[in-house]
Each structure stands twice: as C-alpha cells, then as structure tokens.
A = this chain, B = another copy of it.
Amino acid sequence: MLNESTVAVLEQTGAAEPEKRIRDRSATERAILKAAKNLLAEEGFQNFGINAVARRAGCDKQLIYRYYGGLDGLVEAIGADLGNWVKDRIPEDTGGMFLLTYGDLMERLSLLFLEALRDDPLMRRIVAWEISENTEQVRRLSEARSKALGLWLDRMRGSLTPPKGIDTAAVNALIFASIQHLVLSAAAGGQCAGLVLKNGKDWEKAAGALKRLVRGVYG
C-alpha cells in the first residue's frame, strides 16, 4: 500500500519494478482509513467509492473488503472518529471570558462552531452528505455527529440554566442550522443567499450578524 518506507526504498533505488510491499496489516488499515477520509474531504461523497479509495490508498480494493467489510464498514470507521471531533477541533476553554449568561454561552459556542466547521473540510462534506442522501451509511454518520455535538453542548452549558419561556432546543437547532448552511454554501460557491463569503472581512461580517442573531433571541 505504498506506505512511507516503500516510497523511501523506491526513491533510493530508483527502481521502476514493483518492490515488494511491507506486510503490515495495521499500517495498511490506517492507510486505507486515512485515504478514505482525505478522499471524502477533498472530492466529496459524489465519487466516494471502493475503487477510488483503493486507488488513493495505493492498495487493492480487496483489502478494503477484508479489513473493513466493504464501504459500509469503512464509513462506520470514519464515524467512530467523529466522536472525537469536538475534542480535537474545538478549544475547551472559554477564551478567557466569563460566561455569565446563557446568551454569553451561546454566542461563544456559535462562533466556535462556525470557525471549527470552516476549518474542517471533512466535516463539511459529511454534513452535506447528511442532507443529500438518506442511506443507512449516512444515517450512522449523522447519528454519531449529532450525538457528539449534543454532548459538547451539554458539557459546555455546565450549570448554566437556560432562559425560561424559550424553546432552546428549537432555537439552537435553527442557529446551528444557519451556521452549517452558511459555511457549506460558502465552501461550495463562495456565497450564501447573495452574501459573498470569501475573504476574512466577509466572514467578520457574517460572524457579527451571527452574534446579533444570538444576542437578539437570548439577550
């Protein structure tokens, strides 16, 4: 599977004939998983298939069937990583701020989520996948993602009490929906509903509007 050592050997000898690969199952498994994630992140779910993954991993597709039980298992393995997404991509601390009110919290979380999503092409593709297809594959991914997100939200909320008289579940769903669609739309076409989103200045305006929206409803 063309792992680093093999490449090194090839470069040293300059040999064109197929040097034997290293027999290392776990390394191959990791290479396949990595290839799958990169492929999904870069090319999207349109051309995400057994052949494409095997090609990118530099190994035979048979190994994907053997080690992951096919594409479904591979997707599931990707989903398993998703549980750590929040921990990996979103800073834990509050940025030195004191979050006194629920509004403080939601403003902070919204902006964090916006940035994290903007910086993670794989997660963007997965979100786009979720709203485009409804297969078992995608449903599993979606479940893992929303579960992780929910846990994060709960954990960050801590002992802060949500405001009375507001359906925070519905409102928060709308807020996060707006962030996701904004980021996805921008990533796809550089704009969202006519609003250009390309350079940093554009995103500052969007972040400002997001703050206003959150503050408007949560004070």
**A182 pairs with B177, CB closer than 8 A:** yes
Minimum C-beta distance from A181 to chain B (A): 4
Instruction: Categorize the interface residue count of chain A.
Output: 35 or more
Chain A interface helix/strand/loop/mixed: helix
A208 / chain B contacts, CB cutoff of 8 Å: 167, 170
Q: Hey, what's the 0/1 contact readout for A121-139 against B, CB within 8 Å counting as 1?
A: 0000000111111100011
State how many copies of this chain the complex holds. 2
Partner of A216, one of B133, B134, B216: B216
> Is A35 engaged at the interface, CB distance under 8 Å to the other chain?
no
Contact A189 B132 (CB under 8 A): no
Given that A193-B149, A213-B216, A216-B216 are contacting pairs, would A178 and B174 also be in contact in the complex, using a CB cutoff of 8 Å?
Answer: yes
Q: Which of these, B139, B180, B188, contacts A132 with CB under 8 Å? A: B188
Q: Which residues of B contact A212 (CB under 8 A)?
A: 166-167, 171, 217
Q: Is the C-beta of A51 less than 8 angstroms from some C-beta in chain B?
A: no
Which residues of B lie under 8 Å from residue A146 when comparing CB positions? 191, 193-194
Whether, in the assembled complex, A195 has its beta carbon less than 8 Å from a beta carbon of chain B, the answer is yes
Looking at the assembled complex, report how far the CB atom of A155 sits from the nearest CB atom of chain B, in whole angstroms: 15
- In the bound complex, do residue A167 and residue B213 qualify as a contact, i.e. CB atoms below 8 Å apart? no
Known: A149-B193, A178-B175, A180-B181. A170 touches B132 (CB 8 A): no
